[in-house]
Amino acid sequence: MRTPSGAPGQTEQPDAHAEHGRRVASMFGRIARWYDFLNHSLSLGQDVYWRYRLARCLRLPPGGMLLDLACGTMDVTLEALRQYPDARVAALDFSGPMLARGRDKATRAGKATAVLPALADGRRLPLPDASADAASIAFGIRNILPREEAFRELFRVLRPGGRLCVLEFGSGRTRIWKGAYNFYLDRLLPLAGRVISGDAGAYRYLADTIRDFPDARALGAEMLAAGFADVRWQPHLSGIVYVHVARKAADGADEG
Ligand SMILES: C[S@@+](CC[C@H](N)C(=O)[O-])C[C@H]1O[C@@H](n2cnc3c(N)ncnc32)[C@H](O)[C@@H]1O
**To the nearest whole number, what is the mean pLDDT of the chain?**
88
Is the shortest distance between the CB of 21 and ligand 1 below 6 Å?
yes
For 54-103, what is each residue's pLDDT tens digit?
A: 999 999 999 999 999 999 999 999 999 999 999 999 999 999 999 999 99
Q: What is the CATH number of the domain that holds 203?
A: 3.40.50.150
Using CA positions, which residue lies closest to atom 15 of ligand 1? 143
Give a yes or no: residue 20 inside a domain: yes
Helix (H, G, I), strand (E, B) or coil at 242: strand
- Give this prediction's pTM: 0.90
Give me the mean pLDDT over the 222-228 stretch: 98
| C-alpha distances out from residue 224 to 53, 103, 163, 178, 247, Å | 22, 33, 13, 29, 10
What helix, strand, coil percent values describe the chain, rounded to 5? 50, 20, 30
Instruction: Give residue 91's domain range.
Output: 16-252
Give a yes or no: residue 59 inside a domain: yes
Residue 40 CA to ligand 1 center (angstroms) comes to 16
- Rg of the chain on CA atoms, in Å: 17
Give a yes or no: residue 90 inside a domain: yes
Give a yes or no: residue 6 inside a domain: no
pLDDT of residue 174: 56
Give a yes or no: residue 220 inside a domain: yes
pLDDT of residue 3: 31
Identify which of 19, 23, 42, 71 to mutate to test ligand 1's pocket (most ligand atoms within 8 A of the CB): 71
For residue 85, whether the previous peptide bond is cis, meaning omega lies within 30 degrees of 0, is no
For 91-150, what is each residue's pLDDT tens digit?
A: 999 999 999 999 999 999 999 999 999 999 999 999 999 999 999 999 999 999 999 999
The tally of domains found in the chain comes to 1
Is the shortest distance between the CB of 185 and ligand 1 below 6 Å?
no
pLDDT of residue 12: 57
pLDDT of residue 190: 77
Give a yes or no: residue 240 inside a domain: yes
Give me the mean pLDDT over the 205-209 stretch: 82
pLDDT at 178 over 90: no
Select the more confidently predicted residue: 180 or 61.
Answer: 61
Helix (H, G, I), strand (E, B) or coil at 150: helix
Give a yes or no: residue 193 inside a domain: yes
Give a yes or no: residue 49 inside a domain: yes
Is the shortest distance between the CB of 122 and ligand 1 below 6 Å?
yes
